[in-house]
């Protein structure tokens, strides 16, 4: 999971952002507890141009972009993730849902190596 935000948020806000997004993955994708890979990057305002795309969404400097690489998930799981993430972030850090952009990219078991130059989903021990 890669998360991009504009600089200016305090440490607790960022920690809560990470925690809510992780908990939402546990709740909707059924990932194992402890399966946590998150990279948070803060940018200068001019480095993030997250525009409307014709949907009438006017975002603020609080925009958060999630890019998540994941194994295959069904449409119901994806919808649940988007919904619970928006609700959780609004509740925990006050993020207006219009400032949330999520992109899921799916790949297969052979596309993962968690270390040692091995494909653990294919060759074990995660097989």
Model-level pTM greater than 0.75? yes
Query: CB within 8 A of 100, min separation 6: which ones?
Result: 63, 64, 66, 85, 86, 89
Contact status, residue 70 vs residue 26, Cβ threshold 8 Å = no
* Tens-digit pLDDT string for the chain (127 aa): 999 999 999 999 999 999 999 999 999 999 989 999 999 999 999 999 998 778 889 999 999 999 999 989 999 999 999 999 999 999 999 999 999 999 999 998 898 888 989 888 898 877 6
């Amino acid at each position: 999971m890669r998360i991009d935000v504009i600089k200016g948020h305090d440490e607790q806000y960022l920690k809560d952002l990470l925690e809510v997004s992780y908990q939402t993955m546990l709740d909707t994708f059924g990932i194992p507890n402890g399966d946590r890979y998150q990279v948070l990057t803060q940018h200068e305002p001019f480095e993030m141009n997250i525009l409307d795309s014709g949907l009438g969404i006017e975002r603020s400097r609080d925009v958060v972009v999630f890019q998540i690489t994941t194994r295959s998930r069904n449409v119901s799981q994806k919808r649940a993730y988007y919904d619970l993430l928006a609700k959780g972030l609004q509740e925990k850090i006050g993020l207006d849902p219009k400032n949330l952009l999520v992109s899921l990219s799916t790949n297969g078991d052979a596309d993962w190596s968690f270390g040692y130059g091995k494909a653990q989903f294919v060759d074990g021990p995660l097989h």
